[in-house]
Structure 1
Amino acid sequence: MFTMLSGTAIAQDKTYCNPVDIDYSYMSHYRAKTDVSYRSGADPAVINYKGRYYMFVTRSHGYWSSDDMRNWKFISPQNWYFGGCNAPAAAVKDGKIILYGDPSGRGPILETDNPELGNWQTNYAVLNPKGGIQDPDLFVDDDGRVYLYEESSNKWPIRAVELDPDNYYVPIGEQKDLFNLDPENHGWERFGQDHDSALAPYIEGPWMVKHNDTYYLEYGAPRTQWNVYADGVYQ
C-alpha cells in the first residue's frame, strides 16, 4: 500500500495543469468598455535559456521563470514595456534572449543576457512593416539566420521576413505572404460558434519549429473566443 501511494504521489508531482497556476495580471485596460477588471494571460511564449525556462505572456508587466515548467517565479524586470508586452515572441541568439512584444505593433527587438535581472536593451531600430506586427514568432535556424513570422487577421495571410542580426535585426528584403485560411477545404477553419457563421475566419499565432531537418509552421484558427478554436500546421 505504501509503495502504491508513493508511486501515485510521484506521478502527481509530474502532472501539469492548464491553465498554469501563476499570478495573472489584471486586464484593467478593458474597463473602458465593460467596467470590469479581471485577470488574464494569453499568447504565452516559452523558451529554454541556459537550462532555465522563461515564459512571456500578453499584458504582463514582467515574465516568469522555472526550472521544471510547473513552478513559476515572476520576474519584475529593470526595463520593460510601459503597458506590458503584447503577444510576445522570444528566441535565443548568440548567448542572449531576443524578444519582440511592443503593443503598438511597431518597435525594435529587445535583448538581454541576464533575464533574472531583466536589463533589457534596445537598439532603437524600429520594425515597421505595413499593417504592423501582430502575433509574432521569432525563429532562429541552425545556421544562425533569424526569421519573423506574424499576423492576426481575417484578411491578411501569415507572413514572414528574414531579420539581419548583424544590423540591429532590421528586415532583409520584403515580407513574404505564406498562406491564409482555406475554410472550403479545411472545415475546421470556418468562423463562429460551432462553425456557424458566414464571416471570414481569423488566422493568427504562427509558431515555427524544426525537427529532423523538417520545418513545421503552426497557426491558430478560426478565432480564440469560439468553442472550435484549434491549431493547424503546414510543413
Structure 2
Amino acid sequence: MPAGAARADNPVVQTIYTADPAPMVYNGRVYLYTGHDEDGSTYFTMKDWRVFSSADMVNWTDHGSPMSISTFSWASQDAWAGHTVYRNGKFYWYVPVKDRASGQMAIGVGVSTSPTGPFSDALGRPLVRNGEIDPNVFIDDDGQAYLYWGNPNLWYVKLNSDMISYSGSPTQIPLTTAGFGTRTGNASRPTLYEEAPWVYKRGSLYYNVYAAKCCSEYIAYSTAPGPTGPWTFRGTVMPTQGSSFTNHPGIVDFNGGSYFFYHNGALPGGGGFTRSVAVEKFSYNADGTIPVMNMTTTGAPQIGTLNPYVRQEAETIAWESGVETEPSTEGGMNVGFIENGDYIKVKGVGFGSGASSFSARVASAASGGRIELRLGGTGGTLVGTCTVPGTGGWQSWTTVTCPVSGATGTQDLYLRFTGGSGNLFNVNWWQF
C-alpha cells in the first residue's frame, strides 16, 4: 500500500466490511456495534452483527460476532441496522430482521450480561412488527425509555423499564417539512427523513440525527424540546459523499470529546453493499448546533497511548493489510490468514524508556515465519524479529519470545509478517 494510505485510520475496521454503526460508551471504552456486509455483496446480504471496542478511538479490538440471524429462531434473514443500550446490568441489542411467519421486517431484542456477548433472544418473538426498520433506543433523564424506528415513516413507543415490553401503542411522529426539511421530486415523501434515526439529549435539547433523502443519502438532523417533538429541522451534518448510497449516523460523547460515526465504501472492493464504518471527532457550536462534517481518511485523534507492557490482543488494530480475524480456541479472537508481507499497525504505543523483549502467542499448521517489529512504517526501524515455528495446528498455541532494542518513546508499531508462500501462522496476543 502507498505510505499515505498506511497512515490512515478511517475506516476503523479493515478486516471485514462493516455498516450501520451504533457506538455505546461503557466502563471507559467505546463499544461499536455494527452490521456486517458479506464480501462481494450485490445486495444488503447480512447474516450477523459484530462488536469492536476501543479505549483510545484509534486502536480497535475485534470481539467477533456475538449475535446472528440464527439467534432469533423466528427470523429468516436480514441482519440489518441495530442499536445497543445498557440498563439493569444488561445490554439490550435492538435489531431489524425479517419475520419468517409474516415476511415483514420486525424488531427483535438480543440480551447479554456482557457488552461483547454472547447475546440471546430476549423474547422469542418480535418486540414490534410493522414492516419498518432501523431501531434506536433513548433513555431519558427521568428513566423513561423510547424506541424509535422507521422507513418510510418515523415511529416511537415507550418502553417499560424491563426494556423488552412497552406501554401504549406505537405512535407515528408527524413528518412535517418544518420538522424534517423539504424533499423535492418525491410526492410520497415530502420531507428529507429517510431512515436511521439516532435520538439523544444534550443539555435540555433533544437531537434526532438521521439519514436524509435517497438515493444517495446524506446525514441531517432536527431538534426538539421533548423526546417526541415537536421537531425542528436544523440542516446537514454530513453531505452526500463516500461511494456508498446509504449512510447511517451514531453519536457519542467519550472522554471529553464528541464523536460522529458513519459508513462509506472506502475500502478496496467497497461500495453501496460493501460498506465500512468510520469516525470523526467534532465540537458542537456555541448555540448547540452540529457542525457540517466531511469524511476523512484521518479519523479521530488518539486519546493517550497504548501500553505495550500488558497483554494486548493481536486483533487490536489501528490499520492492517492482508490479515483477517477468527474465533480462537483460547477465547476471543485471533489474527489469521497471515501471508508474506501482511502487517498490523498499532498506533501510539508508549514504550517509555525502552522495551527489552517481545512475546507473542502463535500457532501454525504450516512451517511458520517471522514477526518483524518495526517503528513508524512497514519499512521503518527494525527493533526485533521473532521466529514463529510450526506448531502442528492453526489452534495449537505456543509462546515465542525475542530480544528488542531501540523501542523507546511513543511510536506507531508495525507487526510485519514474513515467510514463505500461503498462510504462515496465527497470532492471538502479544506483549513487550
User: Structure 1 length as normaliser, TM-score?
Assistant: 0.69
Query: What's the counterpart of residue 158 of structure 2?
Result: 162
Give the superposition deviation at 1:42: 2.4
Residue identity matched to 1:234: T
- Give, in whole Å, the separation in 1 of the partners of 2:218 and 2:176: 13
Secondary structure of 1:230 counterpart: strand
Aligned partner letter, 2:223: Y
Q: Which residue of 1 aligns with 2:111?
A: 111
Match of 1:36 in 2: none
8 Å contact from structure 2 (residues 92, 111) kept in 1: yes
2:172 to 168, 173, 177: 177
Structure 1 residue 140: Cα displacement:
1.5
- 1:143 matches 2:138: no
Does the alignment pair 1:211 with 2:199? Answer: no
Count of paired positions: 191
> What is aligned with 1:67?
55
Amino acid at match of 1:217: N
The equivalent residue for 2:397 is none
Equivalents in 1 of 2:143, 2:124: separation in Å?
20
Paired position in structure 2 for 1:7: none
Match of 1:48 among 25, 30, 34: 25
- Segments of structure 1 that go 5 or more residues without pairing to the other structure are 1-14, 26-40, 191-196
Aligned equivalent of 2:64, options 53, 60, 76: 76
> What is the CA–CA distance in structure 2 between the aligned matches of 1:132 and 1:176, rounded to whole Å?
14
- Of 78, 84, 90, the residue aligned with 1:96 is 90
1:126 — aligned with what?
A: 125
Which residue, 14, 18, 22 being the options, matches 2:14? 22
Cα offset, 1:232, TM superposition: 2.1
Q: How far apart in 2 are the matches of 1:87 and 1:79?
A: 13
Shift of 1:151: 0.5
Q: Which one-letter code corresponds to 2:79 in the other structure?
A: C
CA RMSD of aligned residues (A): 2.8
In 1, Cα distance between equivalents of 2:8 and 2:85: 23
Structure 1 CA distance for aligned equivalents of residues 96 and 219 of structure 2: 25
> Residues of 2 paired with 1:163 and 1:199: CA distance?
33
Q: CA deviation at 1:124?
A: 1.8
Alpha-carbon distance change, 67 to 22 in structure 1, aligned in 2, over 3 angstroms: farther
Identity %: 25
Structure 2's unaligned 5+ residue stretches are: 1-6, 37-47, 71-76, 99-104, 225-432
CA offset digits 1:76-116 (Å, max 9, x no partner): 24554336731111111123221111422325422222233
Contact 1:57 1:85 (8 Å CA) reproduced: no
Q: Deviations over 1:48-87 (max 9, x none)?
A: 1122111111235422111122221221245543367311
Return closer, same or farther for 1:56/1:218 CA change in 2, 3 Å cut-off. same
Contact 1:203 1:220 in 2 (8 A): yes
Q: Is the helix fraction higher in 1 or 2? A: 1
TM-score, normalising length: structure 2 = 0.40
Deviations 1:96-153 (A, max 9, x none): 221111422325422222233x221333253354523411101122232221000021
Letter in 2 for 1:148: L
For the structure 1 residues 16 and 208, does the alpha-carbon distance in structure 2 shift closer, same or farther, using more than 3 Å as the test?
Answer: farther
The higher radius of gyration belongs to 2
Q: Secondary structure at the match of 2:97?
A: coil
